[in-house]
A and B are shown apart, each in its own frame.
Chain A
């Protein structure tokens, strides 16, 4: 009894500490997005004496310059960079790219994963490991050749280049995960279909893919998340707002001395919403499936 209560206490204590550890930086980011700059810069720190405001968000979406109190309290800062107003557009760019990558992953990813899971063919294992492990080579080593390929294809600063590269980067994960899923499906139905003369492609489309649909979507969303978050190639390939991605603009804006920390925080808050929304479905459909049955 004593032991059980002790464990319970430690469990809750651990959970609380963990929550603080994760939320402290993020909570503060949100807080500074709705505080006037004077509050953030105050010393001794005095965050809660000020009124909360949405002026930073207003500026990003409508271009309405924050009231002087919001910007110049405690410092004589008057400059506001237009750059930060591009954030919503980069969210759109990133989402379009990531969504396209997700579709490509679901289509040609499941197409390739099914044979790896079910069919027998020569050189299966080496090909599988070649695909899955190719992704572990550091991307920085690929930066220059990728840049030159993209340049040669005349795709610099386009969605196409990003979609192409992110597909290459995410497909190995998708293949690995989907192969594990397809292997986990009950074989009997597929065998029956095979006896009825269905080709592997027909079995995939009519039986395996519908059965694995939640995982398929979960894995696709994971590819979305990875593409949305990618930084290095975004930095390299995008040259203007035409294709600039969210992580790139957040990183560059944050080095811009004209942009207040409040504006930075507001753009970070807006920018991470899409991936935060995806955390729960990815956990439910992909991670949980992996945890419950896959790798081990």
Chain B
């Protein structure tokens, strides 16, 4: 018996060893590029760091400077508006399109491929595309509205602060809804067909089936989508960089862009680091939220030994 136990222990021991060396490259790489940078950002957020000033301890000065700056508050407001306006539309559109793709129809695979297009195009490039599309002088959106007889003179979409934020919101929706669609579709396809059949036999109409079968089935996934898209909204950078450059004025300067320009345009690294820490904390709260909605054991199963 003792020999048998020894053998078992030797086998499980070597398996555990295998597990550790197999995950080691990824764990070390990710850890090195996560822990050190955060430690560094945290450390520098408490310091005076600038190419022109001698380095020194700054205490909470950077945080104070950042939080009380009118630009920070404005960027925060812009970011919240962008997020609050885009996320509901992205989720609703995602559910709507997923419902469409969940049906079989002639040419459905073409539409499936199309839906992935905005997702496949680099976001910065989508920003450039939209900058042309909404151009005040010759953009296609103006031209199409004009040709349809809806407007009689061109609208300065990107030159008017209020309209520019609207354009950024629309572009955010365009680039993000495919991902919401894919995740929602995944959840929809996991709903057993029998549930729909039973509901149909019970005389449930289309809407009733949606509200009593589909919606409960995709609820957990929708929560994940909402949080993920909120994260995307709060941290969007590429899109505004390429679409508006934060303008006109500071009308579309979102918090990420503000963080970027504070660090790399103003070269105020301390303030940039403080902003980065604030941003990361925001994200952390949302990530913990995502974690709550992932069903226990859904990803890697139980942990033993």
Contact = CB atoms under 8 A, between A and B. Distances in A.
A292 to B, nearest CB: 7
A119 B237 contact: no
Interface string A6-47: 011001101100110111111011001000000011111101
A124 B300 contact: yes
Interface in A240-257: 246-248, 250-251, 254-255
A179 B300 contact: yes
Contacts of B15: 119-121, 199-200
Q: Please classify how large the interface on chain B is, using the bins under 10, 10 to 19, 20 to 34, 35 or more.
A: 35 or more
Contacts of B259: 140-141, 143
A265 B125 CA distance: 10
Contact of B299 (A19, A138, A179): A179
Most buried by B among A124, A172, A276: A124
B138 A41 contact: yes
A176 B118 contact: no
B235 interface: yes
B118 A29 contact: no
A231 B238 contact: yes
Interface string A125-163: 101111111101111111111101100000000000000
Interface in A202-250: 204, 225, 228-232, 235-236, 246-248, 250
A176 B299 CA distance: 8
20 contacts: A12-B105, A15-B108, A26-B117, A28-B140, A32-B132, A40-B138, A111-B22, A114-B22, A120-B303, A120-B305, A124-B19, A138-B234, A138-B237, A139-B237, A141-B276, A142-B37, A235-B241, A251-B125, A275-B122, A291-B186
Interface of B: 14-16, 18-20, 22-23, 25-27, 29-31, 33-34, 36-38, 40-41, 44, 96-97, 100, 103, 105, 107-108, 111-118, 120-125, 127-133, 135, 137-138, 140, 143-144, 146-147, 154, 174, 182, 185-187, 189-190, 206, 221, 231, 234-235, 237-238, 241-242, 245, 256, 259-260, 263-264, 269, 272-273, 276-277, 279-280, 283-284, 286-287, 290-291, 298-301, 303-305
